Structure 1
Amino acid sequence: MLAVVVAGSWSAGALSPEPAPAVPVVPAPARPDPPVVPVPSAALTTAEGWARAVVGPRDRDWWLAGLRPLTTAEFLSLLATEADERAAPRGVTGPAVPVSGANGSADVDAPTDRGAVRVQLADVGGTWLVAGADPAGAS
């Protein structure tokens, strides 16, 4: 679960009855967007294979064994302790769709019979592995 905390700060004079002096607003110079990195085909292949393994057999040990070669150790550990394989989708309904890429990471949507799953991938020593997945995160 990802939590976002937004913190505010009091400006000088925020609690005084006198208005703070006007400060001219100077627009910041425009920054170019970071370059878009295409999602490598190996990452798409891993995402598709992982999606097929997720919808596989419902025996827990068999299910985890199918995910093991495509998943980081950390995420597999989380799946082993917190996931209910019976709640997983039953079928893949199309090819994986690239969402975003960066050096060494990628996000891919894997369409299933229960909606798309946003799959987060990481390049681990030259091999693309699933490092997270969020059924609600896909658009």
Structure 2
Amino acid sequence: MPIRTPHGRGAAYRAIWAWPLRSPLRLAFTTAVVIAVVVGSTLAIAALAPVRPGSGPADVPGGAASAGRRPGVPSSPTPTILPPVPELTPSQLPLSAAPAAAVEVAGRWAAAWVRPRQGTTPREWLDGLRNTTTDEYLGVLSAVDPDNIPATRVTGKPRPVRVAPRSVQVEVPTDTLKLIVLVVRDESGWRVAGYDRE
């Protein structure tokens, strides 16, 4: 006789769900059936899935898959040996290749850099360097107090100590130290972009 009321259907469903819980044997049996259904459906789906070319053992040269190869991952080719790369070194020219204009700018800059006469303002000192200094380095020199410069005069001729295609380091002797002036070439000609003390 069919079940006609919602109460009767609920009782029937409860009886089905409660059946595995009535004994440990029924619970073990039900668990085994559920696991078998899940494993069976997984294997059936895997068997019906199309096989991608290049993933089977028959596609590997020699007819067998290599032991270290993972399925679906293409094997890498044998690495090739690249020629050695030479070390990158800045191109340096002989000292005789130093442009006379760059050496001359370094000498003029050093003569304007030394401590000015008493009463010269920092702005006047900076204006004296403007024609021979890059704009970027002028910003650095604006923080310098010219009264703290130890040298008071240039005592010898400037001479190049390192030459590159677009820069020259020039040594300029003063009465207290030797300046190493870096002169670079920009769109307006040769300009000082820094200095160091030897």
SS in 1 for 2:126: helix
**Structure 2: distance between partners of 1:134 and 1:84:** 17
Q: Which has the higher contact order (CA 8 A, sep 6+)?
A: 1
- Report whether the alignment pairs 1:92 with 2:157: no
SS in 2 for 1:74: helix
Give the structure 1 partner of residue 93 of structure 2: 36
Is 58-67 or 35-44 further displaced after alignment?
A: 35-44
SS in 2 for 1:113: coil
* Structure 2 CA distance for partners of 1:130 and 1:93, relative to 1, 3 Å: same
SS in 1 for 2:142: helix
**Structure 2: distance between partners of 1:125 and 1:51:** 22
Gaps of 5+ in 2: 1-83
* Structure 2 CA distance for partners of 1:69 and 1:35, relative to 1, 3 Å: closer
**Structure 2: distance between partners of 1:66 and 1:39:** 25
SS in 1 for 2:140: helix
Gaps of 5+ in 1: 1-27
- Give, in angstroms, the shift of residue 59 of structure 1: 2.1
2:174 to 108, 112, 116: 112
SS in 2 for 1:42: helix
Give the structure 1 partner of residue 183 of structure 2: 121
Letter of the 1:115 counterpart: L
* Structure 2 CA distance for partners of 1:66 and 1:114, relative to 1, 3 Å: same
- Give, in angstroms, the shift of residue 126 of structure 1: 5.1
Structure with the largest fraction of strand: 1
**2:154–2:175 Cα contact (<8 Å) kept:** yes
Structure with the largest fraction of helix: 2
Number of residues of Structure 1 aligned to a counterpart in Structure 2: 107
- What percent identity do the matched residue pairs reach? 34
**Structure 2: distance between partners of 1:70 and 1:126:** 10
Give me the CA root mean square deviation: 2.1
- Give, in angstroms, the shift of residue 35 of structure 1: 5.1
**Structure 2: distance between partners of 1:64 and 1:132:** 14
| TM-score normalised by length of structure 1 | 0.69
| TM-score normalised by length of structure 2 | 0.49
SS in 1 for 2:161: strand
